[in-house]
């Protein structure tokens, strides 16, 4: 199998995946008594950053060139999984349980072949402190802050990972992956979108400035990757 433009992306929380998709059956996780490797057109395993197998992780198969869901399954007790379908190009998303301090792992733009086997690594999450201010520099209390999964540098509306509200000092603490997108909503203010990379200067802190509702959007083009308008 040839891999092209493969990236690993991550995040924590309950993934609200593909709202409106019809009911799909999840495969039950085989127990320790099953030692045979799962069989299918695409096989693989899910590991954490230390290389340990992760059992009972939800894994989704998406069609290449889109984010159309093709198939869902779960890893067995050795972290292995299999899909019965094999698009010519595909993406794989692994989703750990919210109680685990791990984020989802993406593999993008894989090409199928006679030996379509993949390994997905789940990254650790970070505690991110988001400070929300108005355009005078005053804290904005009770603003809703949302964390979304990143794929191809885009915010995907159906991949809400975590949410919280700011306290009286305008801050909220949320678990976020090393790469994700933020959305801040508060009545009377324009909805704000921002990106978060844990490697940016400032580490696990982001300050968001809300503009009054109806105000002209700011031009963030000169900021490159740190633009607030995605």
pLDDT tens string 167-188: 999 999 988 877 778 899 999 9
Which class is 1-124 in CATH?
A: mainly beta
Cα-based angle 95, 101, 107 (whole degrees, multiple of 5)? 35
Q: Which stretch of 36-50, 67-81, 110-124, 182-196 has the lowest confidence by average pLDDT?
A: 110-124
pLDDT tens sequence across 52-61: 999 999 999 9
- Residue 95 three-state SS: strand
pLDDT of residue 221: 41
Domain locations along the chain: 1-124, 126-226
Please tell me the CATH code under which domain 126-226 is placed.
2.60.40.1120
pLDDT of residue 222: 41
pLDDT tens sequence across 111-162: 876 568 899 988 877 788 999 999 999 999 999 999 887 665 666 665 677 7
Q: Per the structure block, which two tokens stand in for 51?
A: 């290389």
pLDDT of residue 104: 81
Tell whether the model's pLDDT for residue 211 goes beyond 50: yes
Q: Which residues of 11-43 are buried (b: 16+ CB within 10 A; e: fewer)?
A: bbbebebbeeeeeeeebebbeeeeeeebebebb
Highest mean pLDDT: which range of 73-77, 124-128, 161-165: 73-77
Segment 92-117 shows an average pLDDT of: 80
pLDDT tens sequence across 23-36: 333 344 445 555 67
Segment 206-224 shows an average pLDDT of: 68
Measured between its terminal Cα atoms, the distance across the chain in Å is 34
Segment 74-79 shows an average pLDDT of: 94
- Verdict on whether the full-model pTM lies above 0.85: no
Instruction: Judge contact between 177 and 100, C-beta under 8 A.
Output: no
Distance CA 215, CA 207 (A): 19
- Do the domains at 1-124 and 126-226 have one common CATH topology? yes
């Amino acid at each position: 199998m040839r891999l092209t433009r493969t990236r690993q992306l991550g995040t924590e929380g309950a993934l609200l995946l593909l709202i409106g998709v019809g009911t799909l059956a999840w495969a039950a996780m085989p127990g320790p008594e099953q030692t045979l490797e799962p069989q299918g057109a695409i096989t693989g395993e899910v590991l954490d950053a230390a290389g340990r197998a992760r059992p009972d992780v939800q894994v989704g198969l998406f069609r290449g060139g889109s984010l159309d869901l093709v198939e869902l399954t779960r890893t067995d007790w050795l972290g292995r999984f299999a899909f019965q379908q094999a698009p010519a190009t595909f993406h794989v998303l692994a989703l750990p349980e919210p109680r685990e301090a791990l984020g989802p792992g993406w593999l993008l733009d894989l090409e199928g072949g006679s030996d379509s086997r993949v390994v997905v690594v789940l990254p650790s999450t970070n505690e991110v402190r988001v400070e929300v201010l108005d355009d005078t520099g005053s804290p904005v209390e009770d603003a809703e802050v949302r964390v979304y999964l990143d794929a191809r540098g885009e915010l995907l509306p159906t991949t809400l990972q975590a949410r919280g509200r700011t306290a009286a000092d305008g801050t909220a603490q949320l678990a976020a992956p090393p790469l994700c997108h933020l959305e801040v909503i508060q009545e009377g203010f324009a909805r704000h979108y921002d990106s978060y990379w844990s490697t940016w200067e400032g580490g696990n802190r982001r300050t968001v400035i809300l503009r009054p509702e109806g105000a002209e959007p700011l031009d963030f083009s000169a900021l490159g990757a740190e633009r607030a308008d995605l």
